[in-house]
Amino acid sequence: MELGIGMFGDLQINAKGEIQPAQQRLQEIIEEIKLMDEVGLDFYGIGEHHRPDYAVSSPEIILAAASTVTKNIKLSSAVSVLSSSDPVKLYQNFATIDLISNGRAELMAGRGSFIESFPLFGYDLQDYDQLYEEKLDLLLKINATPKISWKGKFRPELNNQEVLPRAVNNNLKIWVAVGGTPESVERAGRLGLPVMFAIIGGQPIQFKPLFDYYKRVYQAYGHDMNKFEVGVHMHALFGENSDEVADYYYPLYSAQMNRIGRSRGWAPYQRNQFDAGRGKEGALIIGDTSESVDKILALEETFGLTRFSAHMDVGGPSHAALMKSIEIFGAKIAPKVREALKK
């Protein structure tokens, strides 16, 4: 099982509502990725957003910068909002990262949980499902062959066009992110694509039927089980002392949940929700090494994971807190998980 970190580039927001400069956060992110590589984590993913509380609108630029200061870590989007992107340019950008990084680039395609990119790039939300279907189809066709003829509804047709540059070995690793809809799971299984499940609330065990469904569909369409890959993306922060890291993180985490919740009609986030999420059956992995190892191993046993992604910057923890969390993950948690999985 690969162990890594996902981020959205959350900007720190102080008690006065003042937002951290994006320039500062972007430079911190590069330092954080460099440390992830140094402590031996397997992958890093960065999300795409077009909002004032996030620093990153172009994951590929962050990943290209990170590729020059790292040696081994895989570099992925988490996610690229495929519905409002041009698959041709998206492929070219990630193929370029793949070449710069000597084959370490991956692209994770998703719909995105925020919708700001749709009006920004001139797309109609009424086409939400059709956009994703069509653009995923085009992206996969581009990845499969250098020259392509293609016609769709939402972009000009391609007539024997060569899409360059090509990824290392002429194959870019493409994941899809799903939030829990059976339709998305069925599509991924049918196409034989690796899946990252975002489990950011409730109890992970509630997702077990979707994992089982994905595996059944994947096998039913004759895909090679030796290439079967499935992961989870879960909110996490690690510390030396479980209670201390929880007490530090709760105000930041709850503030972010409430900022998002106000636009989505959620009830105010409460400490009892946070504590329940940190419990044995919950979806938050916020605590010390021992607790975190136990929860990650339990997830692997329940779902048969090939990848675990700790989403580590929700609500904008300080750079120092993130660096400490990364160090603990790489130096303490990851070795214990890997050793347990060998047995």
User: pLDDT tens digits, residue range 308-327?
Assistant: 999 999 999 999 999 999 99
Residue 222: per-residue pLDDT? 98
Element (H, E) at 297: helix 289-303
d(Cα 100, Cα 92) in Å, to the nearest integer?
Answer: 12
d(Cα 141, Cα 127) in Å, to the nearest integer?
Answer: 21
- Joined tokens for residue 54: 């996030």
User: What confidence tier does 15 reach under pLDDT thresholds 50, 70, 90?
Assistant: confident
Percentage of the chain modeled with pLDDT above 70: 100
Average pLDDT of the chain is 97
Residue 120: per-residue pLDDT? 97
Q: Is 50 helix (H, G, I), strand (E, B) or coil?
A: coil
Q: Is 7 helix (H, G, I), strand (E, B) or coil?
A: strand
Element (H, E) at 245: helix 242-264
Q: What are phi and psi of 282, to 5 degrees?
A: -90, 175
pLDDT surpasses 90 at 179: no
The C-alpha angle 204, 207, 213, rounded to 5 degrees, equals 150
For residue 332, give the amino acid letter.
K
Residue 297: per-residue pLDDT? 98
Residue 337: per-residue pLDDT? 98
Residue 336: per-residue pLDDT? 98
Average pLDDT over residues 127-147: 97
Residue 292: per-residue pLDDT? 98
pLDDT surpasses 90 at 49: yes
pLDDT surpasses 90 at 285: yes
Residue 113: per-residue pLDDT? 80
Yes or no: say if 330 and 36 are a contact pair by the CB < 8 Å rule.
yes
* Residues with Cβ within 8 Å of residue 28, at least 6 apart in sequence: 319, 322
d(Cα 305, Cα 160) in Å, to the nearest integer?
Answer: 39
pTM over 0.85: yes
* Rg for the chain, CA atoms, rounded: 19
Residue 6: per-residue pLDDT? 98
pLDDT surpasses 90 at 263: no
Q: What pLDDT, in 10s, does the model give residues 228-240? A: 999 999 999 999 9
Average pLDDT over residues 71-92: 98
How is the chain split among helix, strand and coil, in percent rounded to 5?
50, 20, 30
pLDDT surpasses 90 at 112: no
User: What confidence tier does 19 reach under pLDDT thresholds 50, 70, 90?
Assistant: very high
User: What confidence tier does 180 reach under pLDDT thresholds 50, 70, 90?
Assistant: confident
Q: Which fold has domain 2-342?
A: TIM Barrel (3.20.20)
Q: What are phi and psi of 342, to 5 degrees?
A: -75, -20
